[in-house]
């Protein structure tokens, strides 16, 4: 809930339509309606899909933290050209294929700790509403039917191009080279609202004959059905600005009026995989599932939050030789032959061995935070609670206010994560030694740190897991990724523990050195010794 001690700054949100940040003023005070263009479900999600879903997820979490009542709608596009094409390739009914990949999408989003939307409409369940919307556009002269197809008459909507900052004349000049010619259309820019049925495709009855909706009309219909003709925030990837969102505006405002539809447009930036470092044979994108098989899903979530949502995100990739570890350039990736050792690798083997330096940095940072939380909770569980008040250290006292101010500034998760750095260092200093710090102040500072990190965790959807469980998962995944023999490590740890019990310190130190050579460190307690990566 809001902090009543000091009036917070208003939430600022960058609006693509205006091209600037504005104070968030909602249609109904204290309430927010959000629509996010969800996936077209014909394959496993890639990381770009994950980022487009994560941005509104964090927005919803933060708005609820600030006391807003949020209705979050994210659709599933289960009828589309891509789905039909893939279903025909696979010999599977289109709706069956879409249902399968919708389930896979839900699995990936749950792994990334995304909140389920309040409403998740699917196209096939909104056919009646879509047909009514198309009929209203035809009645207004904004659409026309031709041989079972219905097209939007772009020239009849005066505001067309305002979101993407494109001029109709320029679009028409360039249309010849970019848009398939259809002599039945009044203009090459006119787009399909309804498509006449073709053999083997799913279809529904309509006033224009059997057919199915176009892509753009689907979102106009589903958003108005569940949020009304006007709502507060429309989200999506930057690639949707044109034509999808531009066409949504034309349809929705054409049907309901110029002052209707989304008040704010929020678009996240692109993800750039590996720049020019990946060969075509290895591909230039990875599915979310591929990455979360190699790294904890929370590490990917945290990595995606390290850059402001409107900025592009460079997803650097390194391809090491499975035999000697030498990094392979594009030529070596293409041939599969390591120039350093001559090892021959198949494409799939190399894809399984890729490394993501930026993601690994976030993974290490996340491990540092979980270790700090584990130690802080252990300290608070055993230390004596002070009987008097004492000041909390300045860095820890200022952590949550600074974090929230960054979030109020256009949901700046990058700055918000940066606001945790100094308090984390201070908490570790207090845990390592209480020298020079009043006992009560030490306890209360760590207590405040742990409590405020809980609040941070609920907003970011990170740091919420049990630290021991997460660190164990991370350790095992990293060991598998690096090909480390965990049984051998466990045996060295056992030998070291036995040497320590026998007070054979030289042997214990020798075991520690062997573990260090493997990149492994040991944390000892009265009950046990636990290893992890350094």
Q: Are 502 and 495 in contact (CB under 8 A)?
A: no
* Confidence (pLDDT) at 1: 35
Residue 72 Cα distances to 24, 183, 318, angstroms: 16, 41, 37
CB-neighbour burial class of residue 433 (10 A; exposed 0-12, middle 13-18, buried 19+): exposed
Neighbours of 513 (CB within 10 A): 10
Q: Are 157 and 163 in contact (CB under 8 A)?
A: no
Helix, strand, coil % in the chain, rounded to nearest 5: 50, 15, 35
* Confidence (pLDDT) at 491: 93
**pLDDT, tens digit (0-9, with 9 covering 90-100), for 265-314:** 999 999 988 766 777 778 777 899 999 999 999 999 999 999 999 999 99
State the DSSP H helix or E strand holding residue 47, giving kind and residue range, or none if neither.
helix 47-65
CA distance 302 to 457: 11
* 3 state SS of 259: coil
CA distance 506 to 484: 25
Q: b/e for 47-63, b at 16 or more Cβ within 10 A?
A: bbbbbbbbbbbbbbbbb
Q: Are 299 and 305 in contact (CB under 8 A)?
A: no
Q: Are 61 and 116 in contact (CB under 8 A)?
A: no
Residues in CB range of 78: below 8 A, 6 or more apart? 41, 95, 98, 99, 102, 122, 123, 124
Give the chain's length.
534
Q: Are 324 and 435 in contact (CB under 8 A)?
A: no
The residues that bridge with 532 in the sheet, in sequence order, are: 521
Whether a cis peptide bond, with omega within 30° of 0, leads into 473 is no
* Confidence (pLDDT) at 219: 97
Vertex 307: Cα angle to 305 and 313 (nearest 5): 110
pTM of the model: 0.92
CA distance 352 to 293: 9
Compute mean pLDDT per 10 residues along the chain, 534 residues long, and list them: 58 97 97 97 94 98 98 97 96 96 98 98 98 98 97 96 91 61 87 95 97 96 98 96 97 97 97 76 84 96 98 91 91 93 91 90 96 96 89 96 98 98 97 85 96 98 96 93 89 92 93 92 81 86
Could you give the dihedral angle defined by the CA atoms of residues 92, 97, 100 and 104, in that order, rounded to the nearest 10 degrees? Answer: 130
Q: Are 256 and 43 in contact (CB under 8 A)?
A: no
* Confidence (pLDDT) at 29: 96
Q: Are 303 and 317 in contact (CB under 8 A)?
A: no
C-alpha 116 chain-centroid distance: 13
């Amino acid at each position: 809930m809001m902090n009543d001690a000091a009036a917070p700054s208003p939430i600022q949100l960058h609006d693509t339509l205006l091209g600037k940040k504005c104070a968030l003023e909602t249609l109904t005070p204290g309430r927010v309606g959000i629509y996010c263009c969800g996936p077209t479900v014909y394959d496993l999600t890639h990381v770009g899909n994950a980022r487009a879903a994560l941005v509104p997820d964090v927005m919803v979490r933060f708005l609820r933290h600030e006391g807003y009542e949020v209705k979050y709608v994210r659709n599933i596009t289960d009828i589309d050209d891509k789905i039909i094409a893939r279903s025909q390739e696979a010999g599977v009914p289109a709706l069956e294929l879409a249902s399968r990949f919708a389930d896979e999408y839900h699995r990936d989003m749950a792994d990334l700790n995304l909140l389920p939307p309040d409403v998740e409409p699917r196209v096939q369940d909104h056919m009646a509403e879509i047909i009514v919307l198309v009929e209203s556009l035809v009645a207004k002269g904004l659409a026309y039917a031709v041989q079972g197809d219905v097209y939007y008459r772009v020239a009849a909507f005066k505001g067309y191009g305002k979101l993407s900052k494109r001029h109709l004349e320029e679009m028409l000049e360039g249309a010849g080279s970019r848009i398939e010619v259809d002599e039945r259309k009044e203009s090459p820019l006119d787009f399909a609202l309804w498509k006449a049925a073709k053999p083997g495709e799913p279809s529904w009855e309509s006033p224009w004959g059997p057919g199915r909706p176009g892509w753009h009309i689907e979102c106009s219909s589903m958003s108005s059905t569940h949020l009304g003709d006007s709502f507060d925030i429309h989200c999506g990837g930057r690639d949707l600005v044109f034509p999808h969102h531009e066409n949504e505006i034309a349809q929705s405002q054409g049907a309901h009026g110029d002052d209707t539809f989304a008040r704010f447009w929020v678009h996240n930036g692109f993800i750039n995989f590996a720049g020019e470092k990946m060969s075509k044979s290895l591909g230039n994108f990875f599915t979310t599932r591929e990455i979360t098989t190699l790294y904890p899903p929370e590490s990917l979530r945290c990595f995606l939050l390290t850059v402001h949502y409107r900025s592009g995100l460079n997803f650097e990739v390194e391809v090491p030789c499975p035999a000697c570890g030498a990094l392979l350039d594009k030529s070596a990736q293409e041939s599969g032959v390591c120039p350093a050792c001559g090892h021959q690798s198949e494409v799939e083997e190399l894809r399984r061995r890729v490394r993501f330096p930026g993601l690994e940095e976030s993974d290490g940072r996340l491990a540092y935070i979980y270790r700090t939380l584990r130690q802080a909770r252990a300290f608070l569980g055993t230390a004596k609670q002070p009987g008097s008040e004492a000041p909390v250290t300045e860095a820890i006292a200022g952590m949550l206010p600074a974090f929230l101010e960054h979030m109020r500034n256009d949901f700046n998760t990058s700055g918000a994560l940066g606001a945790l750095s100094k308090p984390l260092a201070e908490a570790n200093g207090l845990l390592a030694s209480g020298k020079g710090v009043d006992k009560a102040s030490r306890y209360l500072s760590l207590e405040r740190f742990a409590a405020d990190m809980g609040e941070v965790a609920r907003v970011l959807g990170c740091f919420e897991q049990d630290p021991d469980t997460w660190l164990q998962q991370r350790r095992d995944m990293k060991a598998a990724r690096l090909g480390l023999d965990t049984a051998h490590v466990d045996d060295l740890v056992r030998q070291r523990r036995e040497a320590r019990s026998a007070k054979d310190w030289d042997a214990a130190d020798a075991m520690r050195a062997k573990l260090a050579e493997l990149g492994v460190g040991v944390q000892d307690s009265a009950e046990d010794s636990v290893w992890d990566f350094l």
